[in-house]
Amino acid sequence: MNTAFIKTLEDVETLLPNTPGLEPGWESKDECYRWIEQTLSYFKYQSLSKKDKGLTRRYLMVASGYSRAQITRLIRQYIKRQRQTTTVYLQRFPHSIYQSGHQATC
């Protein structure tokens, strides 16, 4: 499926009423999953309003051919993966763990 012409949520809003059912044109399931992830990232799904999230969800359902439950599962996985990759742990005092005279000798 060629979705290159869709750049904004307004484009999505005009597309949805005109296309009740599209024929998904994916070669494989992995290709479709990558497209869904790229679309969520492009529209910055986590920072959208509730209305825009619903619009994005419907667009993904129409374009991919997946059910609402499947899209919800994929969105949940995407959000979980985003949280995991953005977690940064800083060590407060990285050089004060061992002092010169207190290191363990093996």
What DSSP assignment string belongs to 39-73?
HHHHTTGGGS-HHHHHHHHHHHHHHH---HHHHHH
Cα–Cα dist 106/93, whole Å: 24
Which whole number is the average pLDDT over 8-34? 78
Residue with tokens 């994005």: 56
- The answer to the question of residue 99 being in a domain is no
Q: Is residue 69 part of a domain?
A: yes
Instruction: Look at the chain and report how many structural domains it folds into.
Output: 1
Calculated CA dihedral for residues 19, 23, 29, 30, nearest 10 degrees: -60
| Domain span including residue 72 | 9-14+27-85
Question: For the segment 84-95, what is each residue's pLDDT rounded down to a tens digit?
Answer: 655 566 766 666
Whether the model pTM is above 0.85: no
Query: What pLDDT was estimated at residue 22?
Result: 65
Q: Is the pLDDT of residue 41 over 70?
A: yes
Task: Specify if 101 maps to a domain.
Answer: no
Classify residue 102: in a domain, yes or no.
Answer: no
The mean pLDDT of 23-48, rounded to a whole number, is 87
Q: Please tell me whether residue 99 adopts helix, strand or coil conformation.
A: coil
